[in-house]
Structure 1
Amino acid sequence: MTEKEKMLAGMHYNSRDPELLAMYHRARRLLQTYNNLDTMNGDETVSLLNQLLGHKGENVWINAPFFCDYGEHISIGENTFINTNCIFLDDNKISIGKNGLIAPFVQIYTAGHPLKASERTLDPKKNTGSYITYTKPVSIGDHVWIGGNTIIMPGVTIGDNVTIGAGSVVTKDIPDNVLAYGNPCKVIKSL
């Protein structure tokens, strides 16, 4: 099993694997061009996003700068708007539905590490700087608004028609049709 296959299966894997590093550097090159592109250059913007993302629906708009690890594990539904300075660590699948609004500085994480320091390093004796990582996918439904500076942790599913208040840390699943906010994020009321 390759490190990429382990990564997508949620198993412990080496993020410094040559195949993963090649994917990472490819995404970095595309992001560097995208983040420095004139906003009036719509055709090149669409082309770069199509090259970077696993799936991009019609009329997706992502304000630069935008950051991700690989890009190819991100799926964004039609008419979704992603504001400036968002970070999507797509070491596993990130799925965002249609008609979404994602405010500035939203962070979506799919990767984590063992809690014990002695279990995080692949070979502590060699001090290689290679760390054990695991992943869990993140899924965000249709018609979701995520407020600025929100952090979404690995493995979280956010339902349809949800509003997440600014500054939230989403550590657990959020059901459909609710307002939720806080640290940790919790359901405040039905919508």
Structure 2
Amino acid sequence: MDLSEREKMAAGEWYCCFDPELDGLRWQAREAVHQHNTMSPVERGNLGPALAALFADAGENVFIEAPFHCSYGINISLGRRVYMNAGCTILDSGSVRIGDGSMLGPGVHIYCAEHHKDRELRGAGIEIARPVTVGSSVWIGGGAILVGGVTIGDGAIIGAGAVVTRDVAAGATVVGNPARAVAAGSD
């Protein structure tokens, strides 16, 4: 049995992002994102209803400032009391899980897709999705970028502007590009 491109994406296999089913899912996400970003804050509350319905899971008291962007939404799971400041972007071709009480500063970006290194395959839309997991009580500073395949342990701190390309241990603080651990007692 041949897998659909959506099934390949979900399984972490190479897939074609130009697939009509995936395009339709991205359009659904665009509509939900647009609604969230253009609603009056009084109407929207902490999380626009269309965006909340789109996500795989959104715990109690999730707060997402506008503007926000995601590519699919269906692969995003947010714990309780997750806060995302303005300008956060989650390109969720893979699973993105953010634990309870985690906070993302303005302009934090999470990228799950890895485009093929062969230029012809890349041009044909071939990519692979890598999950991103953020533990509980994590602070991610403004402008930080997390790439696909990383796990951020509970209580970790990601410095503003850091580019996280490797897993971050629970309780660790990382800064820089690429992100590296800050020695204990240096803060």
Q: TM-score range by the shorter chain?
A: over 0.9
Contact 2:150 2:166 in 1 (8 A): yes
Q: Residue 117 of structure 2 aligns with which residue?
A: 115
Q: Residue 172 of structure 2 aligns with which residue?
A: 178
**Structure 1 stretches of 4+ moved >3 Å:** 42-46
Shift, 1:12, TM fit: 1.1
Contact 2:55 2:73 in 1 (8 A): yes
Residue of structure 1 aligned with 2:23, choices 21, 24, 33 = 21
Contact 1:63 1:82 in 2 (8 A): yes
Q: Residue 144 of structure 1 aligns with which residue?
A: 138
Supply the distance in 2 between the matched residues of 1:18 and 1:149 (Cα, whole angstroms).
Answer: 32
Contact 1:177 1:190 in 2 (8 A): no
Q: Residue 134 of structure 1 aligns with which residue?
A: 128
Supply the distance in 2 between the matched residues of 1:42 and 1:24 (Cα, whole angstroms).
Answer: 21
Runs of 5+ in structure 1 lacking a partner? 123-130
Deviations 1:64-85 (A, max 9, x none): 1100001010001101110001
Q: SS at 1:99's partner residue? A: coil
Q: TM-score, normalised by structure 2?
A: 0.93
Contact 2:14 2:128 in 1 (8 A): yes
Deviates more, 1:27-36 or 1:138-147: 27-36
Asked if 1:78 corresponds to 2:91, the answer is no
Contact 1:178 1:189 in 2 (8 A): no
Contact 1:57 1:78 in 2 (8 A): yes
Contact 1:37 1:45 in 2 (8 A): no
Contact 2:47 2:63 in 1 (8 A): no
Shift, 1:33, TM fit: 1.0
Residue of structure 2 aligned with 1:33, choices 24, 32, 35 = 35
Deviations 1:101-140 (A, max 9, x none): 1001100000011223133233xxxxxxxx1111110000
Deviations 1:21-48 (A, max 9, x none): 1111011111111100100114694522
Amino acid corresponding to residue 66 of structure 2 in structure 1:
A
Q: Residue 53 of structure 2 aligns with which residue?
A: 51
Residue of structure 2 aligned with 1:103, choices 87, 102, 105 = 105
Supply the distance in 2 between the matched residues of 1:146 and 1:44 (Cα, whole angstroms).
Answer: 19
Runs of 5+ in structure 2 lacking a partner? none
Q: TM-score, normalised by structure 1?
A: 0.91
Contact 1:49 1:56 in 2 (8 A): no
